Amino acid sequence: MELKEKNPAENTKPPVSSIVLYVAFSVTALLALASLINTIIIYGDNVAHYVKMGYPAAEVTKQLVRTQLLPGIFESIAITGGIAIILLGAGIINHKISKCLILLNKNEVSNEAAEELVLEENMPAEGTDSTALEETTEGNNEDNQDKKDEEDNLKQ
């Protein structure tokens, strides 16, 4: 007797395509983080450079925050982070669809096996004569036709 698994889809490993999407998500997320850090470092260097040139630090900070820091942060988060989130979502969806397809294929295989068993049970045994089976079927059909004719005659 075999023990049946309650949920065979949970025991399967993720498909290769989902793993590729997860790796692409990780790389893109790291690039987004690196871009964000790079933007902040460049902002700090520019503020230090302008202060060395003699500009007041408050004025430099006020101007560079609006023109350099905020656009750089939003670009890193929105574009690269957005792509990373899309890749993660695609990986999750792909993984779930693959689970469903695996379950569907297992059900189709079990249905096909059940149909084959039914067909094998309904087939006559190899030792029996198929012509004898046909003759008895024909005889039954003739008897049924005679009964129908008698019923029609009685109705008239």
Q: What is the reported pTM?
A: 0.59
Q: What amino acid is encoded at 137 in this protein?
A: T
Considering only CA atoms, which of 49, 82, 92 is closest in space to residue 68? 49
pLDDT of residue 104: 77
Going by C-alpha positions, the residue among 101, 113, 111 that lies closest to residue 8 is: 101
Digit-by-digit pLDDT tens for the chain (156 residues) are 444 555 554 566 788 888 999 999 999 999 999 999 999 999 999 999 999 999 999 999 999 999 999 999 998 899 999 999 999 999 999 999 988 888 777 766 666 666 666 666 666 555 555 555 555 555 555 666 666 676 676 666
pLDDT (0 to 100) of residue 101: 84
pLDDT of residue 134: 52
